[in-house]
A and B are shown apart, each in its own frame.
Chain A
Amino acid sequence: MLTFTLRRLLLAIPTLLAISLVIFLLVDLAPGSPMSEIPLTVPPDVRQRMIEAMGADQPVFVRYVLWLRQFFWVEPAQVINHWFGTDFAAGEQRILSWQSRSPVFTVIGQRLPQTLTVIGTAYLVGILIALPIGIYSAYRQYSVFDQLGTLFAMIGFSVPTFFSGTLFIIIFAVWLGWFPTKYDTMMEVTDWESFLKQLRQMALPVLTLGLANAATISRYMRSSMLENMVQDYVRTARAKGMREKTVVLKHVLRNSLIPVVTVIALGIPSIFGGAIITENLFGVNGIGAALILAIHASDLPMVQTLAFIFAVLIVVFNLIADILYGLLDPRIRYD
């Protein structure tokens, strides 16, 4: 298992390098200039100097190599310095956002908590809703509950979050007034009251994303349960006199979870993708919103870094999914 993990990690390096180059080139090809947001009253020679100051006039390969060095050496060094009080890579240039002139990772560091609280909670809620629905739907296949579950999943699949989100805002925020229409990023949770307020403003984005995630995962859970429910070992468990609860929640579930856990792990990077739309819809100032802003402003370092981080997440969670599979299924041996 360890050898397998190490080998996969080593293999990930060339993969990620290739991905980073592609991202860099593609983003660079996109039209737009980092000066587009600067007022036209600024004279051309000042504009030129601003561009030079940012290094935006350098050829793309120079910028790429510089970015690589910053991403893999300077930025990790900052983290290490922060934790251990060392001073590696002192005085070296960090990846700077063209837009805000502050280090990209500082911006990410500020925004990540927003994304994780809202989007992470939504995914968790989605899983917690999906698993029981999937299990019970399979156990009572074709029952009214199962039919409702199917309907729910179909709606969750087919209605995009920007639509369901808007609908929820209209119904629950505008008409009923139960929840605020906008997420207040500046709010700090200090006491019980502000905690309740935080819960209320999280409710709609969590509901929107959570239901969409629950739809997919509940389907996986259901079909995996159905597949295992008819296996011979289930009959053996019943023939041993085990209670239905043990048969279903131990024997069947333990086997059914193997593919579902994999799907859940593989889905985690896509949380961040889905966040882009939902965050903008509800005004959550998270990573997704930052990406959209950066794209509008042609803030290439920001876009490239964020896109690359998504790529890293995908590769990492693929590996995690494989490792989980090996841990959950004793028949799999990685060596």
Chain B
Amino acid sequence: MPDGAAPVLDVRGLKTVFRTRSGEVHAVNHVSFSLQKGELLGVVGESGSGKSVTMMSLVGLLPQPPAEVRGGQVLLDGRDLLKISLPELQDIRGARVGFVFQDPMTSLNPVFKVGDQIMEPLLRHMGLTKAQARTRAIELLELVGIPDAAARMSSYPHQFSGGMRQRVMIAIALACDPDVLIADEPTTALDVTIQAQILELVKELRQKLGMAIVWITHDLGVIAGIADRVMVMYGGQVVEQGRVAEVFKHPAHPYTRALLKTVPALHGARADRLMAIEGQPPILMAEPSSCPFAARCAHVHDRCRVENPQRRDLNPGHDVACHWEAPHA
């Protein structure tokens, strides 16, 4: 992907908190990243690291309250999505930013026909007639590999398998040719062979349609397979970010290193879940004033406990938020 060109999506200093009964939870703290046209950014981090909250904050999909996006900028082609009105945001959702969620079993409305659910964003954003939307919806179903698409238009979600439903979700997300597709663990709820099929499908669609993709996953093997860049999140912040080959070869953050160690064989077998690191991720009741990983870090020293490290560049396009200097191995 061409470096230096203006990114489609540029997120700067995003901060999201949840107001709960027991206080504020600082789920996302000053997260910055950008996405070039046609690029695939993989996002990893264990459960609760703020991946979903970050992505949902971009287009205001979190229920507010309890959520509150408290700061930062989300620039889509230079326009700040945090500053525009709800109707303007609704014009962008589904049209320029598409979402695919984790659980295909519950993400479709059970009482409407699949075809109608695909046609809905088409009618909403594209100004098509019903007949045109129908034709386009059938094309989309064919595009995501659903056989006998025209007949399946009038099926209900419960008549589809999990993998098929996720294909439908992808069809919905891609319906209006978005610039950015955000896929939040789209294969986690599916069994392995179906996962592989969905991955193949996305790779193929990316070739065809050329949208930028944010792919959230627990599976480093998937990242190695499809991503251009990887962003590692921990405790609501970005701890390391860089090109996949570079980060996998020279991981600089102790957390990234630990993650990579939990993967048995990077090329080939499927990676393990990321649960194997000792200790628990923190629940942030205040903005962290120390490194959130300090309690579990193998290389922790005094400074880590009093100062939350800023992101610093290691190489062009590879940065880390850590006080420790990783030896180049």
- Please report A residues at the B interface, Cβ cutoff 8 Å: 231-233, 235-244, 251, 254-255, 258, 328-331
A242: chain B residues within 8 A (beta carbon): 90, 94, 120-121, 124
Taken together as a complex, chains A and B put the C-alpha atoms of A239 and B125 apart, in Å, by: 12
With A240-B121, A243-B90, A331-B158: A233-B95 Cβ-Cβ less than 8 Å? no
Q: Which among A239, A244, A251, A330 is the interface contact of B61 at CB below 8 angstroms?
A: A239
With A236-B169, A255-B111, A330-B111: A241-B158 Cβ-Cβ less than 8 Å? no
Among B91, B107, B108, B172, find the residue whose CB has the most chain A CB atoms closer than 10 A: B107
Q: Chain B nearest CB: distance from A328 CB in Å?
A: 7
Indicate if the CB atoms of B109 and A251 lie closer than 8 Å: yes
Residue of B nearest to A328 (CB): B111
Counting CB contacts under 8 A, is B215 at the interface? no
Q: Chain B nearest CB: distance from A209 CB in Å?
A: 32
**Do most interface residues of chain A lie in helix, strand or loop, or is the interface mixed?**
helix
Counting CB contacts under 8 A, is B92 at the interface? yes
With A232-B101, A235-B61, A236-B172: A241-B110 Cβ-Cβ less than 8 Å? no
Taken together as a complex, chains A and B put the C-alpha atoms of A244 and B172 apart, in Å, by: 18
Taken together as a complex, chains A and B put the C-alpha atoms of A232 and B107 apart, in Å, by: 5
Q: Chain A nearest CB: distance from B20 CB in Å?
A: 15
A231: chain B residues within 8 A (beta carbon): 106
Taken together as a complex, chains A and B put the C-alpha atoms of A240 and B101 apart, in Å, by: 12
A241: chain B residues within 8 A (beta carbon): 90-95, 121, 124-125
20 A-B pairs with CB atoms under 8 Å apart are: A232-B101, A233-B110, A236-B99, A236-B107, A237-B120, A238-B93, A239-B94, A239-B98, A239-B99, A239-B173, A241-B91, A241-B93, A241-B95, A242-B124, A244-B86, A254-B112, A255-B109, A255-B111, A330-B111, A330-B158
| CB 8 Å contact bits of B80-107 with A (1 = contact, 0 = none) | 0000001100111111001101010011
Please give me the 8 A-B residue pairs with the lowest Cβ-Cβ distance, nearest first: A241-B94, A241-B93, A240-B94, A239-B99, A232-B106, A233-B109, A240-B121, A330-B156
Q: Chain B nearest CB: distance from A140 CB in Å?
A: 12
Counting CB contacts under 8 A, is B201 at the interface? no
Counting CB contacts under 8 A, is B149 at the interface? no
Q: Chain B nearest CB: distance from A3 CB in Å?
A: 20
Taken together as a complex, chains A and B put the C-alpha atoms of A231 and B111 apart, in Å, by: 13
Counting CB contacts under 8 A, is B59 at the interface? yes
With A239-B93, A241-B93: A329-B111 Cβ-Cβ less than 8 Å? yes
Taken together as a complex, chains A and B put the C-alpha atoms of A236 and B106 apart, in Å, by: 10
Q: Which among B86, B106, B172 is the interface contact of A240 at CB below 8 angstroms?
A: B172
Indicate if the CB atoms of B111 and A240 lie closer than 8 Å: no
Q: Chain B nearest CB: distance from A240 CB in Å?
A: 4
Indicate if the CB atoms of B91 and A233 lie closer than 8 Å: no
| CB 8 Å contact bits of B120-150 with A (1 = contact, 0 = none) | 1100110000000000000000000000000
Indicate if the CB atoms of B110 and A255 lie closer than 8 Å: yes
A236: chain B residues within 8 A (beta carbon): 99, 101, 107-109, 169, 172
B110: chain A residues within 8 A (beta carbon): 233, 255, 329-331
Indicate if the CB atoms of A240 and B124 lie closer than 8 Å: yes
A244: chain B residues within 8 A (beta carbon): 86
Taken together as a complex, chains A and B put the C-alpha atoms of A251 and B61 apart, in Å, by: 16
Residue of A nearest to B182 (CB): A239
Taken together as a complex, chains A and B put the C-alpha atoms of A232 and B99 apart, in Å, by: 12
Among A239, A243, A258, A330, find the residue whose CB has the most chain B CB atoms closer than 10 A: A239
Taken together as a complex, chains A and B put the C-alpha atoms of A213 and B12 apart, in Å, by: 53
B103: chain A residues within 8 A (beta carbon): 232
Residue of B nearest to A331 (CB): B158
A240: chain B residues within 8 A (beta carbon): 93-94, 120-121, 124, 172
Taken together as a complex, chains A and B put the C-alpha atoms of A142 and B125 apart, in Å, by: 33
Taken together as a complex, chains A and B put the C-alpha atoms of A56 and B110 apart, in Å, by: 58
Taken together as a complex, chains A and B put the C-alpha atoms of A221 and B204 apart, in Å, by: 45
| CB 8 Å contact bits of B277-288 with A (1 = contact, 0 = none) | 000000000000
B99: chain A residues within 8 A (beta carbon): 236, 239
B124: chain A residues within 8 A (beta carbon): 240-242
Taken together as a complex, chains A and B put the C-alpha atoms of A240 and B106 apart, in Å, by: 15
Q: Chain B nearest CB: distance from A330 CB in Å?
A: 4
With A231-B106, A232-B103, A330-B158: A239-B59 Cβ-Cβ less than 8 Å? yes
Residue of A nearest to B96 (CB): A241
Q: Chain B nearest CB: distance from A141 CB in Å?
A: 11
Given A233-B106, A233-B108, A255-B110, 9 further pairs, Cβ under 8 A: A232-B106, A235-B61, A236-B101, A238-B61, A239-B173, A241-B90, A241-B95, A243-B87, A330-B156
Taken together as a complex, chains A and B put the C-alpha atoms of A329 and B158 apart, in Å, by: 11
A235: chain B residues within 8 A (beta carbon): 61, 101, 107
B95: chain A residues within 8 A (beta carbon): 241
Indicate if the CB atoms of A331 and B109 lie closer than 8 Å: no
Taken together as a complex, chains A and B put the C-alpha atoms of A66 and B121 apart, in Å, by: 65
Among A240, A255, A331, find the residue whose CB has the most chain B CB atoms closer than 10 A: A240
Q: Chain B nearest CB: distance from A243 CB in Å?
A: 6
A254: chain B residues within 8 A (beta carbon): 109, 111-112
Q: Chain A nearest CB: distance from B30 CB in Å?
A: 25
Taken together as a complex, chains A and B put the C-alpha atoms of A239 and B124 apart, in Å, by: 12
Q: Chain B nearest CB: distance from A5 CB in Å?
A: 21
Residue of A nearest to B103 (CB): A232
B108: chain A residues within 8 A (beta carbon): 233, 236
Taken together as a complex, chains A and B put the C-alpha atoms of A236 and B107 apart, in Å, by: 6
A233: chain B residues within 8 A (beta carbon): 106-110
Among A238, A241, A251, find the residue whose CB has the most chain B CB atoms closer than 10 A: A241
